[in-house]
Amino acid sequence: DDVTKETLTVLGMNDDGVNLDYVDEDGVITQIDLAAVITTNETTTALVNNDDGTLSYTDEDGNTIVINTTVVSGNTFIDDNTIHLVEFSSTTQVMQAFRNEVIDAAALTLDEALMLAQNGEQLTIVLALDISNGGDAIIGQADIKSLADLHGKLIGVEGSTVGLYLLHRALTTTQFEDSDFSTTFIDANNHIQALINHQVDAVVTFEPMRSKLLNQGAKLLFDSSQIPNEIVDVLVVRSDFLENYSNTVQQLLYAWYDALAYLNNHPKEAAKIMSARLNLNTVEVLNAFKGIILPDEARNRQLLQTKPKPELYEMAQKMVKFMDQHQLSNKTRSAKPNRKNNTDLALKKSTNIASLTLIAPSLFAPTLLHYKTSPKE
């Protein structure tokens, strides 16, 4: 019977605390050097202080990224001794840094947050930063008058879900099939050059590239104001950091609301501060902000606390459905295993609407939204 065919093997730690002992069915013991296994399979990253306001981060593949830690020097909203804001040149680098625990929080698009959660990152959305209301757009050459003119054309798009999502939503208003146009992936930093040099007929882009291209005579073909409340940026925090340092996260949220209050009360002064970094003049900065909605505390409560399900959850449902239909939900780099096996945050590779209900209770953190004091001007 089945019992007589059963075999028994044993794997246990040797008394020396260094080796694993594996005993096979015949009682033969094989020692496994645990230290050697770790040495063979471990990956190494490095973070070096350059003593000039920057850090050099080297990932597992030997790629080095210089992180600028002085982008907010002189601000009056954040305690620099507690919270350090750093800037990366691409969202790919931001997500990589979050995975490798170089940073504890990140400003991401909602789809990027969902991708990190899918790949096992223990994160919590604590704030809706902005909702695109025209800031994301399809910009064409001056002689392209409408979306219909993109038939047979080449469209540049950043390799992100949001860019593809906006393009998909725009083209649903036409009779186009996927074969009616071509796409090529172009990094956001190269959108302006690609369109000006006629390397592409149109680009799916966002601010500040959107304003710069329109100022140079390019044609606005479609923007996110035509699909309201569908593209949102969020602030995510590593869940273990949130648990251990909730006061620090709360300080960051207070600083965000303080900055919003300053922007609302002193728009010209705020635009002047931001203009140098964005490489726009103050008028262009203020015009760029017209393309996004910056949710205040009350709006964040609606987005994160609405019962029975948060409004942001409904936005996430729509995005996950799109990611699943277009097989985008498992296309992330350097995904690492779920460290805590927390199924509340792990989206399946073939995500569906039902599986998204697993993340609803733990992915959003409305308890941090309460403003205990009035924001400063």
Sketch the domain layout of the chain as residue ranges: 10-41, 98-130+231-368, 136-226
- Shared fold status for 98-130+231-368 and 136-226: yes
Chain centroid to CA 307:
25
Closest alpha carbon to 231 in 170, 307, 156: 170
CA within 13 Å, CB half, 146: 4
- Distance in angstroms (rounded) separating the CA atoms of residues 85 and 67: 10
**pLDDT score for 348:** 29
In single-letter form, the type of residue at position 116 comes to L
In single-letter form, the type of residue at position 101 comes to E
- Distance in angstroms (rounded) separating the CA atoms of residues 349 and 187: 25
Tokens found for residue 127: 């704030």
The answer to whether 319 and 117 are in contact (CB under 8 A) is no
In single-letter form, the type of residue at position 76 comes to T
Rounded alpha-carbon distances, angstroms, from residue 156 to 137, 182, 204:
12, 9, 6
Left if phi > 0, otherwise alpha if psi is -120 to 50, otherwise beta: which for 201? alpha
In single-letter form, the type of residue at position 339 comes to R
Phi, psi of 29 (to 5 degrees): -100, 130
Phi, psi of 365 (to 5 degrees): -125, 75
**pLDDT score for 359:** 36
Tokens found for residue 61: 């593949």
Describe the strand order of the beta sheet including 154-157 as a list of residue ranges: 182-185, 154-157, 202-206, 136-140, 219-223
Alpha helices in the chain (DSSP H): 34-41, 91-99, 110-118, 161-171, 191-196, 209-215, 239-244, 246-265, 267-278, 282-289, 297-305, 311-325, 353-356, 360-363
Q: State the architecture of 98-130+231-368 in CATH terms.
A: 3-Layer(aba) Sandwich (3.40)
CA within 13 Å, CB half, 351: 30
Q: Along the 377 residues of the chain, how does pLDDT read in single tens digits?
A: 544 555 566 666 677 766 777 777 777 787 777 666 656 655 666 667 676 666 676 766 677 766 655 544 445 677 777 888 888 877 888 988 999 999 999 999 998 888 888 888 888 888 899 999 999 999 999 999 999 899 899 999 987 788 889 998 898 877 777 677 888 999 888 999 999 999 999 999 998 899 899 999 999 999 999 999 899 999 999 988 988 988 888 888 888 988 999 999 999 999 998 888 778 889 988 988 999 999 998 888 888 876 677 788 888 888 888 877 776 654 433 223 222 322 222 222 333 322 333 333 344 444 444 333 333 44
Tell me the torsion sign for CA atoms 353, 356, 358, 360.
negative
Q: State the architecture of 136-226 in CATH terms.
A: 3-Layer(aba) Sandwich (3.40)
The answer to whether 275 and 285 are in contact (CB under 8 A) is yes
